[in-house]
Amino acid sequence: MHITDLPFARGFIRVCDDGWLKGWHERNGGNLSYRLSKAEAEEAAPLFTTGDDWREIKTSVPALAGEYFMCTGSGKFMRNIRENPAANTCIIQVDESGARYRLVWGLTEGGIPSSELPTHLMNHEVKKNAGSLCRVIYHAHPVNLISLTFVLPPEGKAFTRELWEAMTECPVIFPEGVGTVPWMVPGGRDIAVASARLMETFNAVVWFHHGLFCAGATFDEAFGLMDAIEKAAEISVKIRSMGDGKKRQTITTENLKQLAEGFGLSLSPLFI
């Protein structure tokens, strides 16, 4: 059996490749993780080796004890994943305490999982604890979204309204809005804790001057959310770049209320 015989692995690889083609993954930028279902882990088991040492996650995710995750490797390039998934991605298992993991497949040329593993796993844990169907956590560096973090305040309301007003389908796609994390050092526990707290409410969390994290039940959902938010950000950047950058008209608060009624949405009252 080859990794690409497994549908979840094919979905994983496709997101990496599509994200690269979108221009969201310069060099080794961005990372992706997928929580395998029990059936998927059983199907993939013939590929697994269990001799690897247990290593510290550098945070604790007890609700994920025993779970398997496919994730990108630290320092690996998204553009190389389709060509050689075994060298650039891995499958890990979390131990029974939720504090350590071991490699069971992949990274055949050496390496460790993404440096953002603590954020990925804490986000997965928050979603699992909330009873969410989320299995995918996706982090990318989309240009327009990052550009907006230089002109909008690091506040959920300001960011959400900018995106909601940019495109009528945005409030339909993310009625809960987006969360924002002001600039922080990436790769550690602090930014993981800040992100996970926001993931309790949102499926998209903006890292200022850095990028975006999206959560979804499927690869389509997580990728689609990233794509929709970046497209809205691009529209916003273009509006702000035209003439004096002032909007002559927009999707108003009243329009948002009408949209909520028409689509049966529960738009976050914090952002109305």
Binding stretches for Zn ion (CB under 5 A): 211
* Cβ nearer to Zn ion, comparing 5 with 26: 26
- Minimum CB distance to Zn ion, residue 213 (Å): 9
* Cβ nearer to Zn ion, comparing 8 with 223: 223
Place of tokens 């850095």: 210
Contacts of 165 (CB under 8 A, 6+ apart): 247, 250, 251
* Cβ nearer to Zn ion, comparing 19 with 106: 19
Which tokens go with 169? 């389908």
* Cβ nearer to Zn ion, comparing 92 with 145: 145
> What are the residue numbers of the active site?
116
- Minimum CB distance to Zn ion, residue 116 (Å): 7
For 17, 30, 265, the CA distances from 23, given in Å and listed in that order, are 10, 11, 32
- Minimum CB distance to Zn ion, residue 232 (Å): 20
Q: How far apart are CA 47 and CA 106, in angstroms?
A: 9
* Residue in the shown chain whose Cβ atom is closest to Zn ion: 211
Q: How far apart are CA 186 and CA 188, in angstroms?
A: 6
- Minimum CB distance to Zn ion, residue 147 (Å): 15
- Minimum CB distance to Zn ion, residue 139 (Å): 6
DSSP strand pairing (68-72 vs 89-94):
antiparallel
CA-nearest of 40, 143, 57, 130 to 100 is: 57
* Cβ nearer to Zn ion, comparing 179 with 211: 211
